[in-house]
Structure 1
Amino acid sequence: MEQFRKVLVLYVGGTIGMQQNDKGALIPIPNAFLQKIKYHSEMHDAEKAKKYFRALKENELILPPATGINTVIYELIEYSPLLDSSNMSTKEWVRIATDIGRNYNKYDGFVVLHGTDTMAYTSSVLSFMMEGLQKPVIITGSQIPIFETRSDAKDNVLSSLIIAGCYNIPEVCVFFANKLLRGNRTAKISSDDLDAFDSPNYHTLVDVGINMKINHHHIRKVDDSVHFKLHTNLNSKVVLLSFFPTITREMLQSYLKPPTQGIVIQSYGAGNLPSNRPDILQVLREAVEREILVINVTQCARGAVSNSYECGMVLEMIGLTSGRDMTVEAALTKLMYVLGLPELTYLQRVELMKTDLRGEITNT
């Protein structure tokens, strides 16, 4: 007997649905994406829809049958206005999370169509906002619009729909270029390659080839005792600073002035800052004493913060919190989430930043 699975698609914006204007610039075009995929035979089986699903809504589509998987019916909700991902903010993250939460019990999985520039931030923050997630939430997009003759959009969307509808992967993920990645382990690594994303410190969750290889031992296990819960109170009074050799005391102080309540510092190598700069170290020490959360992550694409070197040990001694192998995107959005949790002491927030909450840190 044929099994049917339902997926909700939130079309937020991004290159995937853009077209060129009269000046040659790519811009989002309202109400065009649905019409494009509705008449694409690989993305909507119109005959099957007429035969079996006369009650389908205008924005509901059905994937053609595929070997070994259930039939996927998906509903597309288009945001207005559509956003270039560079224009994403806390407000949009809360809206996406709220829309998923409102529809959580109605669908088997969720797909978010999103621009690539801030996709790693969105996938990271959604993972922290969704406690007890037991269904797939997959964020995808494309480097080339779906309206172009040659585009990566179709494969990214189709694979995301199939995985979200047919596989038990209870995580916020990014799908791009035949790889499903844990969302809070993802970083954009290229502005012009189709293989634009990587998970530098964690394994892929699914590798898509002729078959789908599900890497079960890398997927987070569901804790059935934890019920799905949304956290929408994000504290945006956080900053990000990548260290550089000529930074001055005054520059660092400007980052740590009110209203800043947390900062992610990208340090050198394995988590090092200059130990021969007492002026810099004093500014950091004073920030910790004022109970500003100072998180230390590495500037390197791969690897983790450690205290193997004297410079790293000094930072630990003055109270900086190690972000270990978190991505910059995960560290910053986790900081927003932790600072937004009510009625916690400073030390409790520090401990949460050190704790693996959603698979964002490798347990050692």
Structure 2
Amino acid sequence: MKKICIIYTGGTIGMVPTDQGYAPEAGSFAAALAGIDDLSAEGMPAWDLIEFDPLLDSSNIAVDQWNQIGRVIRDNYDSYDGFVVLHGTDTMAYTASALSFMLEGLDKPVILTGSQIPLCRLRSDARDNLITSILIAGEGKACEVCLYFGGRLIRGNRATKASADGLIAFDSPNYPLLAEAGIDIRYNKRVLGGLSAGEFHLAEFRETSIGVIKVFPGIQFQLFEPIMTEGLNGIVLETFGTGNIPNYDDALLPMIKRAFDNGTIVVVCSQCPQGTVRLGAYEVSAALTRAGAVSGFNMTTEAAVAKLYYLFSKGYNRDRVKVEMEEDLRGELTL
């Protein structure tokens, strides 16, 4: 029998009603799971639960918490056939992206899931998300970091949260779904596997100064100059369309040039959910390349941020980080 490790970090899935609204409560989720007969039904993998203490609000999850989740997987890697990480939805796509880079040589499923409605409520989506995630982890066909939600299995570093209140809360705008769960779980074998070679290893992240700037009409780039110092390691610039920027005040390009000279890696992503950055397709985007920026192609912002953390945490110099940001390391981009 396959055996799965469920890692409960917190989030809506395990919250209970309190006088101040829904909140996590230590021990209550384990009791709720014990009352779900399907979790011990024939055909279900065996499972153990590891509950974080304290439980985390996903809005507060950052580098330390990503490392904490990674350590739990590393420390239990040889004891289980797969892992299900229960997580709040707000930053789930960031955590999925981070784990996809941290877990080098991964050859077991790591499935992130959660819910929009707590397990304790009627109409909760938690039950299906949890049970199907355990089954997918046990089947061992998606041996990578994935996100399962609302009947869809998504590559972790291709996921982005698309709805704050819909039960299909996540989308994969630039990559096919890995599987869809209907009457059967239908895997898209064409897009599975081949992401990470070598022995399993946890590459922990270190604190790194990374920023995100979203371009908008009328933006005053000079307001961002104070952060463009030698202490800024990387910045993700969310541009229009295929990598276009306004040039009405001639402030951005000199700022990017100074950032590049200071050693900052500037990664250009698109605000459009679908499509890819093509620096040089228009004059305004060609200027970004001349200023030293690199293309994020069709990476999500979540993946670009996590990838910067990963590459700087590996101790690579700026030239290598710049090169590898434009290479596909874990299926996070399409060239």
TM-score range, shorter chain: over 0.9
Q: CA shift at 1:305, angstroms? A: 0.6
Which residue is 1:33 aligned to? 29
Q: Is the 8 A contact 2:222 2:251 kept in 1?
A: no
- Distance (whole Å) between structure 2 residues aligned to residue 123 and residue 175 of structure 1: 11
- AA partner of residue 190 (structure 1): S
Alpha-carbon spacing, 1:222–1:193, altered in 2? closer, same or farther (3 Å): closer
C-alpha offsets along residues 241-264 of structure 1, whole Å, 9 cap, x if unaligned?
Answer: 101222224212123235211100
Alpha-carbon spacing, 1:304–1:103, altered in 2? closer, same or farther (3 Å): same
- Distance (whole Å) between structure 2 residues aligned to residue 254 and residue 244 of structure 1: 19
Which residue is 1:195 aligned to? 168
- Distance (whole Å) between structure 2 residues aligned to residue 223 and residue 13 of structure 1: 28
Q: Is the 8 A contact 1:144 1:153 kept in 2?
A: yes
Which residue is 1:92 aligned to? 65
Aligned residues: CA RMSD: 1.3
Q: Is the 8 A contact 2:6 2:85 kept in 1?
A: yes
C-alpha offsets along residues 134-180 of structure 1, whole Å, 9 cap, x if unaligned?
Answer: 00000000000000021000000000000001132111000000011
Secondary structure of 2:90's match? Answer: coil
Q: Is the 8 A contact 1:275 1:314 kept in 2?
A: no
Secondary structure of 1:361's match? Answer: coil
Which residue is 1:309 aligned to? 282
Which residue is 1:59 aligned to? none
**Which segments of 5 or more consecutive residues in structure 1 lack a partner in the other structure?**
46-63
**Structure having the higher Rg:** 1
Q: Is the 8 A contact 1:220 1:359 kept in 2?
A: no
Alpha-carbon spacing, 1:249–1:212, altered in 2? closer, same or farther (3 Å): closer
Alpha-carbon spacing, 1:324–1:182, altered in 2? closer, same or farther (3 Å): same
In the alignment, is residue 206 of structure 1 matched against residue 179 of structure 2? yes
- Distance (whole Å) between structure 1 residues aligned to residue 57 and residue 94 of structure 2: 14
In structure 2, which of residues 125, 129, 134 is the aligned counterpart of residue 152 of structure 1? 125
Matches within 5 A, 1:55-204: 64-66=41-43, 71-204=44-177
Aligned-residue sequence identity (percent) comes to 40
Q: Is the 8 A contact 2:100 2:145 kept in 1?
A: yes
- AA partner of residue 21 (structure 1): T
Q: CA shift at 1:220, angstroms? A: 2.3
- Distance (whole Å) between structure 2 residues aligned to residue 157 and residue 134 of structure 1: 21
Secondary structure of 1:234's match? Answer: coil
In the alignment, is residue 335 of structure 1 matched against residue 308 of structure 2? yes
Aligned residues: 334
- AA partner of residue 209 (structure 1): G
Q: TM-score, normalised by structure 2?
A: 0.97
Q: CA shift at 1:222, angstroms? A: 5.9
Secondary structure of 2:127's match? Answer: helix
Q: CA shift at 1:346, angstroms? A: 1.4
Alpha-carbon spacing, 1:197–1:222, altered in 2? closer, same or farther (3 Å): closer
